[in-house]
Structures are given as C-alpha cells and as structure tokens.
C-alpha cells in the first residue's frame, strides 16, 4: 500500500497471545526507504516522501533473529522504491523466498532470495501472474506430529519435505519412524502403548529457518509429554509462547518452565479434561494431546485453529479420530 499509493494507515498489531510482537523491524525498514512514520490514536500512519520511496541499505535483524513479515513488508515496498535497496539480515524462510519469486514473475527485480541478503531494483509497476503458493510446512508438520503422538500412519501429500528437514532430524532423534518421498512425508504406525516404542526424550530449540520453527514448538511439546524421559524445549523466537503449558498440565503432563525454557518429564498417559486454547498453535497442540488422552477432552476457543488449519476436525475424523466440533461462535462473540 505504501509503495503503490504513498500512504498507509493500519492499526497496531494484535493476534494470538504469544507475548510481545514488536513491529520495530517493519518500521525501521520502511523508514530506511524514506517513509515518515507516526502513531495516532492507536493507528500507525506511514507516508512516502514527495516523489515516492527511495531505495536504501538496511539491516533488518533483531535480538530474536530475522523477521519474516518484516522482510516481506520491506521487500514489497522496495519493489516500488526508486533505485536499489539492499536488505541485510533478511529472513530466509521458504515463505519469503516464494514471495520474492512471485514478485519476480510479476516484474519485480529481486536477487538473493533464500539468503540473508536481498537486493531489489525498484520498478514502475507490477503485472498480474498466476502463482501456486507453496504448501504450508507448519500444517504438514502438525499432521505428521499428530501421527507421531498417536502411533498412527498419517501420510501428508503435496507438501515440501525439504522445508521440514529439522523436524525430520528431531523425529529421528526421538526414535519416531517416518517415511519421506519427493512430495510427501508419512508417520509409520507403531504401538505407542509399548514402552519400547514410545518417543525418546529429545531437546529442541526454536530458531529462524532452517532451525526448528516456533510454530511447531507447542505441537512438539505435546509429543514430548509422553516421551520416556526428560526433554528440554527452549523458545528463542517468542520467549513467552508457553500459554499451552498450563493447559497441558490440566491433561496430566509434567512440565515446568524456567524462563524461556520448558522442562518436560514424560508421563505414562494423559487424562482428558476441559482446556482452553490461547492461540493458533496451542489449539493444535491441545487437540493432539486430546487424541491420546484417556477419556474426553474439550478444547475451548477453537476459533483460533481455523486460521491455520482448514477443516481440521473433518480431516482428523477421516483419519479415524473421534472429534466433534461444537459451535464456538457465541463464545467468541462474548470475548
């Protein structure tokens, strides 16, 4: 919007309750392109200088690593900036690469996608394109972990296994069997009630891509609640992203938090209970835990989950899960 029209007004960000999510990297980047930024009555007002944005050189890293959406926003704005823009510390996530490739097909001049250094030469305009967006690696990883926690054979097709290499590495370390093809990945059936076939305790640390994704941290924690020993999970992207921890405790998990680290002592079984989802990935983790908990688990506020998983209840039911969706609309409106 800023690049095309010279002015954009948006509200301060909200979203899932996963801790503070500053937008300083976004604003720093567009200011490096010459934009003026101010805050008015809860809104952020961004205005390009007379003549439009101007290319610049900037560093977009932060104390928590690179910013995916910060990189994406500055990349899109830079496409319309006069001259050359260089972004150092750019996010290397596949989603950023896919965006850069799409913009290039639309007429943008982008080099370095997939690396921490992006170069953009501004253009006058972009044209239309037909583009197939890359598969959602977090959705694929979640279903794979659902198969891992239940011991089911779940084959996720039309995905990109090369985008999930670190998850494959951690599953192998946990002794969870899986198979991989060119565009599919599948968990292998096993009897998780057999102590010899339980997942082994395995540590993970969330990092920018290609490290372990923060958006798979909650689901991994659910898996480790039933591992045969102690696992350590360190959250380096959003240190407060542990709202699911207390809810997993309601199901009988044994977890304690120490700052940005969670120590998970595996238990023999989880027990169904009423739990509350605080955010998108916590919702998925609680549903996963409910699949293996003894008795009935009720997950409230599941309207979060629909932002990241299309018809998850229907898909899990098709895999043999006993899942029933109860209308959560009234609960959402009350909030």
**Residues forming the active site:** 16
Instruction: Tell me if 110 sits within 8 A of 118, measured CB to CB.
Output: yes
Backbone conformation region of residue 161, classed left if phi is above 0, alpha if psi is from -120 to 50, else beta: alpha
Spatial strand order of the sheet with 254-258 comes to: 204-205, 230-234, 261-265, 254-258
Residue 98 token pair:
């896919």
CA–CA distance, 16 with 13 (Å, rounded to integer): 10
**Is the bond leading into 324 cis (omega within 30 degrees of zero)?**
no
E strand map for the chain:
7-11, 36-40, 43-47, 57-59, 84-88, 109-111, 117-121, 155-157, 178-180, 184-187, 204-205, 230-234, 254-258, 261-265, 274-276, 298-300
CA–CA distance, 334 with 130 (Å, rounded to integer): 40
Cα 138 vs. chain centroid, distance in angstroms? 6
Largest CA distance in the chain: 69
Spatial strand order of the sheet with 36-40 comes to: 7-11, 43-47, 36-40
CA–CA distance, 148 with 133 (Å, rounded to integer): 27
Query: Within a 10 A sphere around the Cβ of 51, how many other Cβ atoms?
Result: 9
């Amino acid at each position: 919007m800023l690049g095309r029209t010279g002015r954009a007004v948006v509200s301060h960000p909200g979203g899932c309750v996963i801790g503070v999510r500053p937008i300083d990297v976004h604003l720093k980047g567009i200011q490096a392109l010459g934009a003026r930024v101010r805050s008015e009555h809860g809104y952020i007002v961004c205005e390009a200088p007379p003549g439009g944005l101007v290319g610049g050189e900037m560093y977009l890293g932060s104390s928590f690593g690179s910013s995916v959406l910060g990189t994406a926003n500055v990349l899109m704005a830079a496409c319309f900036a006069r001259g050359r823009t260089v972004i150092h510390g750019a996010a290397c996530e596949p989603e950023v690469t896919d965006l850069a490739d799409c913009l290039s097909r639309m007429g943008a001049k982008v080099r370095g996608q997939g690396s921490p250094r992006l170069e953009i030469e501004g253009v006058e305009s972009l044209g239309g394109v037909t583009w197939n967006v890359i598969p959602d690696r977090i959705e694929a990883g979640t279903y794979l972990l659902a198969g891992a926690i239940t011991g089911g054979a779940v084959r996720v097709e039309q995905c990109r296994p090369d985008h999930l290499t670190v998850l494959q590495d951690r599953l192998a370390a946990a002794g969870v069997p899986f198979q991989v093809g060119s565009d599919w990945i599948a968990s292998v059936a096993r009897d998780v009630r057999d102590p010899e076939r339980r997942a082994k305790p395995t540590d993970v640390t969330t990092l920018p891509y290609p490290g372990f994704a923060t958006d798979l941290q909650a689901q991994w924690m659910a898996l480790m609640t039933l591992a045969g020993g102690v696992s350590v999970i360190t959250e380096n992207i959003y240190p407060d992203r542990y709202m699911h921890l207390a809810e997993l405790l309601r199901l009988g998990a044994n977890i304690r938090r120490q700052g940005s680290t969670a120590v998970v002592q595996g238990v023999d079984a989880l027990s169904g209970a009423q739990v509350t989802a605080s955010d998108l990935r916590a919702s998925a983790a609680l549903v996963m835990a409910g699949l293996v908990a003894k008795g009935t688990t009720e997950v409230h506020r599941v309207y979060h989950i629909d932002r990241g998983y299309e018809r998850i209840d229907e898909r899990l039911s098709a895999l043999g899960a006993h899942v029933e969706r109860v209308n959560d609309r009234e609960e959402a409106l009350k909030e």
